[in-house]
Each structure stands twice: as structure tokens, then as C-alpha cells.
């Protein structure tokens, strides 16, 4: 997938993994549509020349459609990256004997899983209208677009208090191959990344003692991931036409302990 002249839409673009992804795609020649609920941070990124900011909640159909429409107005939408997500924790039964709040469980699944699917389905419709690209020899290529989702290693090794988060990310893993098969005939690839611990605002919620234990559990390198390393994998997925229907762990060999 060539990025020069292509449009890429990134959710959660105002900070963390999403921001690094947007910056990496921009540096590689793509025109960016930046989607986030954080208006000030999103506008600041747009003012820096990274792309066009469209405030949107990924669970809102009309708002996501407006972001996709903005992308297609700029050119062919070739790349969509889902980085928007939340990671609030709660035990199924807390120390006072109260059950996990059902509304919180639904909210986490709604943002992380339903929001990802909402962006995926609307971006796929836009990509399906793209002409199939032509290679240097004039032969019609197969790709119209690439959609990359963000899962988590919690999908495989959810910790204490991560029932909702792990379930939402496991849903993304399960969605990946099914979506890749659904969209194959349209020339759209779907790949997910399951990141480990990256130095993002979400990591600030993890207690210091737990952070130290997690670093020690890594194979190598024993440190938190840097957001440009996540963005680098996004670029490889976009560029490598043989990557499809897979969830790729990016975690320095970390296998999460129960807590």
C-alpha cells in the first residue's frame, strides 16, 4: 500500500499510540484525519500540521460517518487505524461484596469493541469505493485499503480487575480474521496489534509496584514500549500486502501474571 496521495484516518489520535501513529503516517506521506474526543489536544495536533481534526466519539455512528466523509473529501481513504480505547479496572466482586457495575462493563465494551467495529464498517464502505491501484507494470493490484485495530495482550492474559477490558480486547482479536475474510473480496485487509505495556497516559493508572514487576517479567528489552515502535509496526502492516487476518503481539516477550 503506497501512502503518498492516500488518506489515513486514525482514532484516539490526540495522544499515546494514536498520536504516534498519526505522526508516523504523516511523515510517510499520508494525509491525516485525526479523530478523538479530546478537542484541545486534537486541535493542537492539527495546528502542528499533522492533519485535519474531526472531534468524534467512536461509538456515535453520525460522528464517525462525518469523519469518514471528511477523509474521502481529501482523497482516497486507504488506511484506518483504531487506537481509541479505555482501560478502567474493576473486580467482578469487590472487597465489599458488590458486583461489577454492569453499566461500566457495557461502557468499556461499547468504546473498545463496538467503537472499533463502528469505525471498521464505515471505513470499509468508503474503501470499497476506491479504484483498485495499478502497479508499475500497469497490472491491477488487489488492495483498496487496510484497517488496523488495537487489541491488547490482556485479550490473552487478562489480569485481576480486567474482566471488561480483557473481554473487549478479546472481541477485537476474534473480529480480526472474520473481518479480513468478509472484506477480502473488496480488496481490504484487516490486521490487529496486541500491544503490551507502552509509555502512554493509560500506563499512568498502573501502580508503581505493579509496573516494576511487569518490567521484570519481560524477556527483552526490559522497559516500557515507546510509541514510535507501535507506529513502526503500523507502517509495516500498511506496506506489507501479505499481512492479513492476524493479531500481532508487540510486547517484548511479556506474559502477564494474574495481578
Domain boundaries, the chain: 7-250
Residues labelled catalytic: 165
Give the residue carrying C-alpha cell 515507546. 226
pLDDT in tens, 16-33: 999 999 999 999 999 999
Angle, CA of 68, 40 and 127, to the nearest 5°: 10
Q: CB-hemisphere CA count at 13 Å for 56?
A: 30
**Backbone torsions φ then ψ of 74, nearest 5 degrees:** -90, -20
If pLDDT is split at 50, 70 and 90, which confidence band does 45 have?
Answer: very high
Q: Are strands 188-195 and 145-150 parallel, antiparallel or unpaired?
A: parallel
Q: Is the pLDDT confidence value at 64 over 70?
A: yes
In this structure, the number of other CB atoms found within 10 A of the CB of residue 172 comes to 25
In CATH terms, the superfamily for domain 7-250 is NAD(P)-binding Rossmann-like Domain (3.40.50.720)
Q: Mean pLDDT, to the nearest integer, of 164-169?
A: 97
If pLDDT is split at 50, 70 and 90, which confidence band does 209 have?
Answer: confident
The residue ranking higher by pLDDT, 213 or 56, is: 56
| E-strand stretches of the chain | 7-11, 31-36, 52-55, 77-82, 145-150, 188-195, 247-250
If pLDDT is split at 50, 70 and 90, which confidence band does 138 have?
Answer: very low
Contacts of 173 (CB under 8 A, 6+ apart): 151, 155, 156, 192, 194, 247
Amino acid at each position: 500500500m503506497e501512502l503518498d496521495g492516500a488518506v489515513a484516518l486514525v482514532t484516539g489520535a490526540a495522544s499515546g499510540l494514536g498520536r504516534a501513529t498519526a505522526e508516523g503516517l504523516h511523515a510517510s506521506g499520508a494525509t491525516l484525519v485525526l479523530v478523538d474526543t479530546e478537542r484541545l489536544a486534537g486541535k493542537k495536533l492539527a495546528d502542528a500540521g499533522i492533519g485535519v481534526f474531526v472531534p468524534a466519539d467512536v461509538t456515535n455512528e453520525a460522528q464517525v460517518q462525518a469523519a469518514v466523509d471528511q477523509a474521502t473529501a481529501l482523497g482516497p481513504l486507504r488506511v484506518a487505524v483504531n487506537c481509541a480505547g479505555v482501560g478502567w479496572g474493576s473486580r467482578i466482586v469487590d472487597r465489599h461484596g458488590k458486583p461489577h457495575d454492569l453499566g461500566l462493563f457495557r461502557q468499556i465494551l461499547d468504546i473498545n469493541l463496538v467503537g472499533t467495529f463502528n469505525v471498521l464498517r464505515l471505513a470499509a464502505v468508503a474503501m470499497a469505493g476506491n479504484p483498485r491501484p495499478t502497479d508499475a507494470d500497469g497490472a491491477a493490484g488487489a488492495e483498496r485499503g487496510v484497517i488496523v485495530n488495537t487489541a491488547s495482550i490482556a485479550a490473552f492474559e487478562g489480569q485481576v480487575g480486567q474482566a471488561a477490558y480483557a473481554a473487549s480486547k478479546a472481541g477485537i482479536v476474534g473480529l480480526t480474521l472474520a473481518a479480513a475474510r468478509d472484506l477480502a473480496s473488496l480488496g481490504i485487509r484487516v490486521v490487529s496489534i496486541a500491544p503490551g505495556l507502552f509509555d502512554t497516559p493509560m500506563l499512568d493508572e498502573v501502580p508503581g509496584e505493579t509496573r516494576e514487576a511487569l518490567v521484570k517479567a519481560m524477556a527483552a528489552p526490559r522497559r516500557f514500549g515507546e510509541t514510535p515502535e507501535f507506529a513502526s509496526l503500523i507502517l509495516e502492516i500498511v506496506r506489507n500486502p501479505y499481512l492479513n487476518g492476524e493479531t500481532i503481539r508487540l510486547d517484548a516477550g511479556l506474559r502477564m501474571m494474574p495481578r
